[in-house]
Amino acid sequence: MLKYSLAVILIAVSTTFAFAQEPGRHHPPRLTPQTSGTTQLLISVSPVNDRVVWAAGAGGVYVVTTDGGEHWISAVVPGAEEEQFRDVHAVSDRVAYLMSIGNNTTDFRVYKTIDGGAHWTIEFTNQDPLAFYDCFSFWTPDRGITHSDSGNGVFPDIRTFNGNTWQSIAANMPPALPGEASFAASGTCITTQGGENAWITTGASTIARILATRDGGNTWHAYNTPLVSNPSAGGISVAFRDSRHGIVGGGDLSSNTSADAATSDDGGQTWTLTNQPPVQGAIFCLAYIRGMQQGDNDDDFRFGDDRDHTVLITTETEPNFTSGEAAWTPDEGRTWFTLPQVSGYWAVAFASPEAGWFVGNNGQILKISF
């Protein structure tokens, strides 16, 4: 979904700073602006670790750093100058995937580089006039899934087992509700965890749902959420910190009402609304402030404190996506804190609690450290 042109008013942060007004032991994050080398809108970001990060966006642009953002290199994928990269998945400083959209059905493509961007291969080009792909996610460097809005009651999703070719899994997907779709959400309408788990958040219909698989996309179940849903609203962004515990965010992109969020502790089968986030507009991107999950063990990346329960969100509203507020919660939505000087960023993702990145309009990048 979100087939229209994207624009944001960005409030840039001009110097390194930290907030001092938060109460108790929940220390506010440190924010450090970085220079991307482009003025194009950056839509999505994917850290590999504390040093290697890829981001991508409008005008066929991608940026990459190998030193934690001290220096960024920007470039344009040849032939993709009229496309937007709505999602990026980084594997290493050499290997990355990009997902593009444009003015035509065939402008949806999956690109891959194995030499740090020197060359790009088009792995998949959409030929289905009813498909509109919103986001992708990967379990391993070679195993991933790409999700589309529904067409004629079917989700024409695709999957790769080898990182090179993609096959339809439409027959595996649950039937779609009338008009059911997802919102691109900087690639966060889908998330993967462990070796087989994935969750997709949907809306634009009568119910906002979670589509979940436990076997790498072979079989799926659909679960209702309490988020508001209508043609411009629903679940927008989803994340899981282990196989059971996750959070979904959404709201109505056409109004400046409060954002919605809900959590699950049973793998997405049931959801409970959190306390209201202190921001206006729909949650457009959310991320757990933790390291990348490395395997099926739910105890991976336990930090010995509450940081693995901490979530950061960004918000947006139509028609010009001018809200862009940000907030964080140290306890999965029981208490919230705003980031009052952070506005207009589209996406946020973390390599570790000490190394996360916002990306947004005019090529702005902001490193965030807890």
pLDDT digits (tens, 9 = 90+) for 173-219: 999 999 999 998 999 999 999 999 999 999 999 999 999 999 999 99
Which residue, among 132, 128, 127, 93, has the nearest Cα to 113 in the 3D structure?
93
Q: What is the pLDDT of residue 254?
A: 87
**pLDDT attached to residue 302:** 41
Q: What mean pLDDT comes out for the span 295-316?
A: 60
pLDDT of residue 105: 84
pLDDT number for residue 280:
84
Give residue-wise pLDDT tens across range 308-327: 679 999 987 655 555 578 99
- Asked whether the predicted pLDDT for residue 298 surpasses 50, the reply is no
Name the residue among 340, 221, 352 with its Cα closest to residue 294: 352
Residue 297's pLDDT band (cuts 50, 70, 90): very low
Confidence check: pLDDT of 246 > 70:
yes
Q: Which two tokens stand for residue 304?
A: 């010995």
What pLDDT digit, counting tens, does each position of 116-154 carry? 999 999 999 999 999 999 999 999 999 999 999 999 999
CA-wise closest residue to 137 among 56, 83, 210, 195:
195
Average pLDDT over residues 327-342: 93
Mean pLDDT of 42-48: 97
Enclosing domain of residue 248: 30-369
DSSP sequence for 267-308:
TTSS-EE-SPPSSBSEEEEEEESSPPP-SS-TTTT--SSGGG
Q: Is residue 19 part of a domain?
A: no
22 is a domain residue: no
CATH number at residue 235: 2.130.10.10
Does residue 3 lie in a domain region?
Answer: no
Q: What is the pLDDT of residue 291?
A: 56
Query: Quick check: 27 pLDDT over 90?
Result: no
Query: DSSP letter string over 13-73?
Result: --S-EE-----TT-PPPEEEEEE-S--SPEEEEEESSSS-EEEEEGGGEEEEESSTTSS-E
Q: How confident is the model at residue 257 (pLDDT cuts 50, 70, 90)?
A: confident
Burial track 45-55 (b if 16+ CB lie within 10 A, e otherwise): bbbbebebbbb
Q: What are phi and psi of 223, to 5 degrees?
A: -125, 140
292 lies in some domain: yes
* Lowest-confidence region among 4-18, 87-101, 134-148: 4-18
Question: Residue 18's pLDDT is what?
Answer: 37
DSSP state of 176: P
Q: How many domains does the chain have?
A: 1
* Residue at 20 is within a domain: no
Instruction: Report, as an integer, the average pLDDT of 40-58.
Output: 97
pTM of the model: 0.90
Q: What is the pLDDT of residue 319?
A: 52
In a domain, 326, yes or no: yes
Average pLDDT, the chain: 88
Residue 316 in domain: yes
High-pLDDT (> 70) share of the chain, %: 86
Question: Each residue of 262-294: pLDDT tens digit?
Answer: 999 999 999 999 999 998 889 999 999 975 444
